[in-house]
Structure 1
Amino acid sequence: MKKVLIDVIFASEKRKNVLLLLKDGPKETKNVLELLETTRQSLLPQIKVLEEHHLLSHKNDVCELTKIGKLLVEDMMPLLDTVDVLDTDIEYWGTRKLDFIPTHLLERIDELDECSLIDPDITNVYNAHQAYHETCAISKSIFAVTTFLYPDFHEMYSRLIHDNIKSTIIMSPDLYNKLETDRYSGFKDLMDSNLMHFYLYSGKIDFMSFGYNDYQFVMSPLTNTGDFDNKHLLFSSPQAREWGKELFEHYLKDSTPITEI
């Protein structure tokens, strides 16, 4: 009796890997064996199952996806990529508020690729984003949406200005009000630079912050209960940065420039 197709694809790691291996084109059986580091005796029964379900053809010792096989592999990739992203730490992802991500980007979360979960200890609270800040220092421009600023924000952004790095920052209404009352002079100094561009978001910002530069994308969601901690996600692939850019543009369209304070 034939297996349910979902079981054919995912119930066997070997079958799944064979399908993924053939997505770029036909391969000789010996090459498949080498790439999967397995034996002919172990692999051939799995190839036979794929043949019986019309996902693969195996002729003249060459393996090739069928039309149906190609269709399914194309649909498999986003799912497997999404699983890879969430597998970074499913406990973290599962306990975070993700409502701030628009639907069209949440559906493309597979584009974030694998990421690093950064969990700094208490002695590094004010250096929580150190790895990201190091790449900011060698970027041409940085972009961020935030509800907070580090105590040394004036010094940090002054260094960026000194190094001719352009910064575009969208802030929450609460943060703007705090700067207006607590840090007027320092904030005004930064505004006077043509390398600093501040925007005020018109609505509620239901996350801590996110940002991207020429090298990385960083994201700090709140917990499901609305609490915050210093854990954050760091992504380094080009497509993850492009995803982060689209998220930034989503918030920019509902923001207005801050020209005075």
Structure 2
Amino acid sequence: MIKSLLDVIFASEKRKNTLILLQDGPKDITFLLEQLKTTRTSLLPQLKIMEKHNILSHSGSNYKLTRIGKLLANEAKPFFETLETFDKGNSYLSTHNFDGIPQQFLKRIREIKDFVLIEPDHVDSQKLNAEYLAEALGSEAVYFVFTFMHPGTIPVLQQLLDSNINIYVIDSKELTFKLINEMPDTCQYFLSFDNLRIYSYPKTIGICSLTVTDNGFLLRLLSKNNEFSNKQIICVSPEGREWAKGLYDFYEKDAELITEI
């Protein structure tokens, strides 16, 4: 029976998508046809197969999931969304090191399914940061995780501070050492602001950088050979933002607050 149900769900895109569409409650055949962009002649045989396997039932033109169907939909939707996320980002994930993302966040990777992959060339790389700055400037708080110092970082921090936005920065231990030794006056200057908190993370940070705003995030991963990559993931959605803020919190809980140098 298990193999049969797997075939019923996975062997047809129409059946798979019907399962997800009915998860929120009964739907009329017209709604299903519109959402699936198909014809009655094409869809009805698939609905009959699902009904035969006790996944759905119908009364007139209304279709709904059975108890088994609801259970399958609840289990299948996260799996489908995870597949969708990995499929959408396959070219990026296959060439970048996502081993640095903690396991508990990989398990929730479907939450960033609405991401957009940006690959600016060398000339446009700073322009992207300028465009994303508008999103940050509209936020109440902005959270950063850094393992490198981007040329535009200090001007961005200054603009955020001037706008009275609360800023939280986590630097890798290597970057902390570099900044304190090479830019002590700049570090002391930023430590004087009440709306800026700077932390140093004592362990290895597996990502390249992370920026979390009120509405979303920007993430850089290292390439497979652990070198810097200019490719960036941007996601603006409530689920994506929650995922990214959780990732920031994961690092902050073990980070050390810097109050003086």
Q: Same fold (TM over 0.5)?
A: yes
Structure 1 distance, partners of 2:110, 2:20, is 16
TM-superposed deviation, 1:128:
4.2
Say if 1:128 and 1:230, in contact at 8 Å, map to a contact too. no
Alignment of 1:6-155 (within 5 A): 6-155=6-155
Match of 1:171 in 2: 171
Give the 3-state SS of the residue equivalent to 1:199 in structure 2: strand
CA spacing shift, 1:129–1:84, aligned 2, 3 Å? farther
Give the 3-state SS of the residue equivalent to 2:63 in structure 1: strand
CA spacing shift, 1:3–1:101, aligned 2, 3 Å? closer
CA spacing shift, 1:127–1:235, aligned 2, 3 Å? same
Deviation by residue 1:197-239 (Cα, 9 ceiling, x = unmatched):
1001011222211120112211111122211211010110011
TM-superposed deviation, 1:95:
2.4
CA spacing shift, 1:89–1:103, aligned 2, 3 Å? closer
- Output the amino acid matched with 2:235: F
TM-score by length of 1: 0.93
Structure 2 distance, partners of 1:66, 1:101, is 38
Deviation by residue 1:16-72 (Cα, 9 ceiling, x = unmatched):
122122111112323322333322221111111111111111232321111111111
- Output the amino acid matched with 1:232: Q
Match of 1:4 in 2: 4
Structure 2 distance, partners of 1:240, 1:217, is 7
Structure 1 distance, partners of 2:37, 2:88, is 25
TM-superposed deviation, 1:101:
2.0
Identity over the aligned pairs, expressed in percent?
38
Say if 1:154 and 1:187, in contact at 8 Å, map to a contact too. no
TM-superposed deviation, 1:9:
0.8
Structure 1 unmatched ranges of 5 or more: none
CA spacing shift, 1:210–1:104, aligned 2, 3 Å? same
TM-superposed deviation, 1:96:
2.1
TM-superposed deviation, 1:189:
0.9
Structure 1 distance, partners of 2:46, 2:236, is 36
Match of 2:224 in 1: 224
Please, which moves more after superposition, 125-134 or 11-20?
A: 125-134
TM-superposed deviation, 1:253:
1.0
Residue 158 in structure 1 maps to residue 158 in structure 2: yes
Give the 3-state SS of the residue equivalent to 2:206 in structure 1: coil
TM-score by length of 2: 0.93
Give the 3-state SS of the residue equivalent to 1:4 in structure 2: helix
Say if 2:101 and 2:207, in contact at 8 Å, map to a contact too. no
Structure 1 distance, partners of 2:34, 2:147, is 51
CA spacing shift, 1:216–1:61, aligned 2, 3 Å? closer
Structure 1 distance, partners of 2:248, 2:131, is 20
TM-superposed deviation, 1:258:
0.8
Match of 1:197 in 2: 197
Structure 1 distance, partners of 2:51, 2:79, is 23
Deviation by residue 1:75-125 (Cα, 9 ceiling, x = unmatched):
111112112222333021122222222222211111113210010011123
Structure 2 distance, partners of 1:206, 1:61, is 52
Say if 2:129 and 2:152, in contact at 8 Å, map to a contact too. no
- Output the amino acid matched with 2:252: L
Match of 1:213 in 2: 213
Say if 2:142 and 2:212, in contact at 8 Å, map to a contact too. yes
Structure 2 distance, partners of 1:25, 1:138, is 37
Structure 2 unmatched ranges of 5 or more: none
- How many equivalent residue pairs? 261
Structure 1 distance, partners of 2:200, 2:129, is 23
